[in-house]
């Protein structure tokens, strides 16, 4: 049900605190068979209409979150590199007018390596983007075809070179643990990835998400996912090789040189506030969970009626917030400060005897007030969370 239009009431209790902004661009050239993100294929996109809608949605959040320092903007999708650079520039300008930009403001845009999109990188940089996250996914044409990607391996490497020429900070994604993957082959891919000179890598194991085409393919026995033990061995190899190369894992699937971590994603994992605008975008502000309409047409209609795209705005209970902070924080190599978070939410996060048992098993660690998962523990994070949640 749409939230009724009314003048929003700003919350001034956290003025002076930091804020991140997520901007969702929902359109793609095609839908990848593994993807469960909010992405849609449309024959045509009215760029002017979408620019106006995103700016209206942003203005609504700006009124509710006055006095913040903006630390990051992240254009996600979908495929934001399909966005007109003028739209990115307009959103960046509106955001930095609404909130005081940090001196080291990080502005990331996700991109696919199609040649037509790579040609936009210089224009996106001129618009203010200073970090590109590139969806390479593989160095192998056969694997790219299996993953339903619209680019080839050579095209991907050319796009990476274009991104590195355009902006100072670049990350790229690879997907591994595909059917048939083994340690020698993945080790060669890691060699190649680590030699390309980026400061950040996102290395994801293939997961079969409900509702995707891959889920249907597996149900129909069209292919068999990689054995979990083999996938675990590849994960362990990834941790070892990236650490040796100076890009250790700071989160389960994300690896970076010291100081090159994604500041935007750290906002999520450290459980700070962020505004989310655009179709399907989630946000977390002043104790509220916010959700926008997922379908692009429904989002546009809501903005026209109400001045924003919100479909849900719910307060988080102390227990919900504490659990979310635990789930997010234990993804990080740095772990969490349990005393600080318990004081923040007025609710204990963990069962200490359960943590002690897992430390004895080598799956968790404790240092002063912080606890975290070891690399072996991160392989079993869901089970660990079920064991230790207070």
On whether both 229 and 119 belong to a single domain, the answer is yes
In a domain, 8, yes or no: no
In a domain, 118, yes or no: yes
On whether both 252 and 383 belong to a single domain, the answer is no
In a domain, 45, yes or no: yes
Mean pLDDT of 22-37: 92
Q: Which of 269, 297, 329 is the last residue of a domain?
A: 269
Domain count, the chain: 2
Q: Which of 212, 242, 269 is the last residue of a domain?
A: 269
In a domain, 375, yes or no: yes
Query: pLDDT: is 29 or 66 the higher one?
Result: 66
On whether both 362 and 240 belong to a single domain, the answer is no
On whether both 257 and 379 belong to a single domain, the answer is no
Residue 36: predicted pLDDT = 84
H/E stretch holding 327 reads: helix 318-329
The answer on pLDDT for 176 being more than 70 is yes
Task: Categorize the per-residue pLDDT at 115 as very low, low, confident or very high, splitting at 50, 70 and 90.
Answer: confident
CA distances from 154 to 197, 233, 307, 383 (A): 17, 28, 44, 40
Q: Which of 222, 246, 269 is the last residue of a domain?
A: 269
On whether both 244 and 383 belong to a single domain, the answer is no
Q: What tokens appear for 380 in the block?
A: 């079993």
Q: Is-above-0.85 flag for pTM? A: yes
CA distances from 266 to 43, 74, 274 (A): 35, 12, 11
179, 138 contact by CB (below 8 A): no
On whether both 264 and 347 belong to a single domain, the answer is no
The answer on pLDDT for 6 being more than 80 is no
Provide the residue range defining the domain that includes 376.
337-388
The answer on pLDDT for 298 being more than 80 is yes
Residue 16: predicted pLDDT = 66
- Residue 83: which CATH number? 3.20.20.70
In a domain, 312, yes or no: no
Residue 10: predicted pLDDT = 65
In a domain, 27, yes or no: yes
On whether both 259 and 350 belong to a single domain, the answer is no
What proportion of the chain, given as a percentage, has pLDDT over 70? Answer: 96
In a domain, 104, yes or no: yes
Residue 348: predicted pLDDT = 86
On whether both 161 and 241 belong to a single domain, the answer is yes
On whether both 153 and 58 belong to a single domain, the answer is yes
H/E stretch holding 180 reads: none
Mean pLDDT of 90-114: 97
On whether both 65 and 150 belong to a single domain, the answer is yes
In a domain, 43, yes or no: yes
């Amino acid at each position: 049900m749409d939230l009724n239009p009314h003048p929003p009431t700003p919350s001034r209790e956290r003025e002076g605190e930091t804020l991140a902004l997520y901007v969702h661009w929902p359109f793609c050239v095609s839908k990848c068979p593994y993807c469960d993100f909010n992405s849609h294929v449309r024959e045509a996109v009215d760029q002017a209409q979408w620019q106006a809608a995103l700016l209206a949605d942003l203005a609504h959040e700006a009124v509710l979150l006055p006095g913040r320092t903006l630390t990051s903007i992240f254009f996600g999708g979908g495929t934001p590199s399909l966005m007109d650079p003028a739209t990115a520039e307009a959103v960046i300008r509106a955001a930095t007018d609404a909130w005081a930009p940090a001196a080291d403001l990080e502005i990331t845009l996700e991109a696919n390596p199609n040649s037509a999109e790579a040609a936009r990188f210089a224009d996106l940089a001129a618009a203010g983007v200073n970090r590109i996250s590139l969806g390479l996914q593989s160095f192998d044409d056969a694997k790219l075809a299996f993953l339903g990607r619209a680019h080839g391996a050579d095209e991907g490497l050319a796009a990476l070179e274009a991104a590195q020429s355009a902006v100072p900070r670049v990350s790229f994604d690879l997907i591994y643990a595909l059917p048939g993957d083994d340690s020698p082959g993945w080790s060669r891919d890691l060699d190649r990835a680590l030699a390309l000179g980026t400061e950040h890598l996102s290395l994801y194991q293939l997961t079969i998400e409900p509702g995707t085409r891959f889920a249907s393919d597996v149900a129909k026995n069209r292919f068999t996912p990689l054995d979990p033990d083999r996938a675990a061995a590849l994960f362990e190899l990834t941790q070892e090789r990236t650490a040796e190369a100076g890009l250790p894992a700071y989160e389960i699937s994300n690896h970076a040189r010291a100081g090159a971590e994604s500041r935007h994603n750290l906002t999520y994992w450290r459980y700070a506030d962020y505004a989310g605008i655009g179709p399907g975008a989630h946000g977390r502000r002043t104790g509220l969970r916010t959700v926008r309409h997922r379908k692009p047409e429904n989002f546009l209609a809501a903005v026209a009626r109400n001045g924003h795209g919100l479909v849900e705005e719910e307060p988080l209970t102390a227990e919900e917030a504490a659990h979310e902070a635990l789930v997010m924080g234990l993804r990080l190599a740095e772990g969490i400060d349990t005393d600080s978070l318990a004081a923040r939410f007025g609710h204990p996060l963990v069962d200490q005897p359960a943590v002690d048992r897992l430390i004895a098993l080598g799956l968790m660690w404790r240092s002063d007030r912080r606890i975290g998962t070891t690399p072996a523990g991160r392989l079993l994070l869901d089970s660990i969370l079920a064991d230790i949640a207070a």
